A and B are shown apart, each in its own frame.
Chain A
Amino acid sequence: MPGVAFVAHCLLNQNSKTHGGARCPGIYSPLVEELRDAGWRLEQMPCPELAFTGLHRFWAVKEQLDTSAYRRHCRRIAAAVAGAIEVHVRRGDDVIIVGIEGSPSMGVHITSSDPDRGGRPEWPDGAGELSPGSGIFMEEIVAELTERGIEAPRAMGISHQLPGHDPEAERAALRDLMEAS
């Protein structure tokens, strides 16, 4: 039975991406269509980086954002999202989360890491920053849900900004996630 997918902000609004990162004008249609075709309801999560570091932010790795202030910001958003997730979980809806692989905030299984990065932004594009792990917001939403006694939903991240991105594999992964309940 279709459930509720809490999706990363940029899935519905590519305007929130760092400059150079918007893959389409507005709505990232491939995965949205996959969810809608399967009858799933979409709930958009806020973009943690947009309101904190702004539209003109630099591409960042996790260590650059991992301050106590940014953690508090993410936890405030996580609390807002967890409130909505809780409504659905309490009434028995199936819930999934769709993040952004490679993101320092929204990564589910892959984040970005470079402990030495800082200063003038002149590193080579895509320089070895991808690393296993979750982004900061994903860590905070899991913590927030755990405090509320709610099991973290099944989750995946879209992979369109990773090297070797395979659109069909991405859609298949989303179908598997939806059907895994």
Chain B
Amino acid sequence: MDADARCFRVALVAGELLNAAEGRVDAMAVLQAEEWGAIQLPAAEYPDEVAGPLLEQVAEQVEEFARHGYTLAVVGGRPGLDEALARVGVAAPPAFDPDTADELVAFLKETCR
């Protein structure tokens, strides 16, 4: 088996930032360059009955990363995320809603310190 290349850093990212909506930061490009993995948060367009079960899954996965000491950050966020994380016993990670790619880079670097 090959050497494992994982980065041990996971960003929870608003769907609108991962898919680079017009005028928003292209978080995918920044995360690739900065070598972070991503967990996508449900986009705001999804109604609560669709977003809720997806957020539940996000929380369960984040709990596993938190349990193993991975660095976590929230980019953009999503209503209901903090509550979903609390239900699995995970404190809300550092969060930031960037206006520019440079701001996002600085936030990610700061989170890793």
A contact residues, total (Cβ < 8 Å): 40
Assess the A43–B40 pair: CB atoms within 8 A: yes
Assess the A51–B8 pair: CB atoms within 8 A: no
CB within 8 Å of A: which of B42-67? 42, 45-47, 49-50, 53-54, 56-58, 60-61, 63-65, 67
CA of A84 to CA of B42, assembled, Å: 9
**Chain A interface (Cβ < 8 Å from any Cβ of B):** 9, 12-17, 19-27, 29, 32, 36, 41-44, 46-47, 50-51, 54-56, 76-77, 79-81, 83-84, 86-87, 125
Please judge, given known A-B contacts A36-B28, A46-B58, A51-B60, whether A24 and B5 are in contact too, CB under 8 Å: yes
Assess the B38–A12 pair: CB atoms within 8 A: yes
Assess the B7–A25 pair: CB atoms within 8 A: yes
A-B pairs with beta carbons under 8 Å apart, 26 shown: A12-B37, A13-B39, A14-B5, A15-B7, A15-B65, A17-B6, A19-B4, A20-B4, A25-B6, A25-B7, A25-B36, A26-B10, A26-B32, A27-B31, A27-B32, A27-B37, A42-B18, A46-B58, A46-B60, A54-B64, A55-B64, A55-B67, A76-B53, A77-B57, A81-B54, A84-B46
Assess the A16–B42 pair: CB atoms within 8 A: no
What is the distance, in angstroms, from A44's C-beta to the closest C-beta of chain B?
A: 4
Interface size class on chain B is 35 or more
**Chain B interface (Cβ < 8 Å from any Cβ of A):** 1-10, 15, 18-20, 28, 31-32, 35-40, 42, 45-47, 49-50, 53-54, 56-58, 60-61, 63-65, 67-68, 70
Assess the B40–A27 pair: CB atoms within 8 A: no
Q: Which of B6, B28, B32, B42 has the most CB of A within 10 A?
A: B6
Chain A residues with CB below 8 A from B6, complex form = 14-15, 17, 22, 25-26
Please judge, given known A-B contacts A55-B68, A80-B53, whether A15 and B28 are in contact too, CB under 8 Å: no
Assess the A80–B37 pair: CB atoms within 8 A: no
Please judge, given known A-B contacts A14-B6, A21-B4, whether A83 and B40 are in contact too, CB under 8 Å: no
Assess the A12–B50 pair: CB atoms within 8 A: no
Please judge, given known A-B contacts A17-B6, A50-B64, whether A25 and B35 are in contact too, CB under 8 Å: yes
**Extra pairs beyond A26-B31, A29-B32 (9, CB < 8 Å):** A12-B18, A15-B7, A15-B37, A16-B61, A25-B35, A36-B20, A44-B38, A80-B54, A80-B57
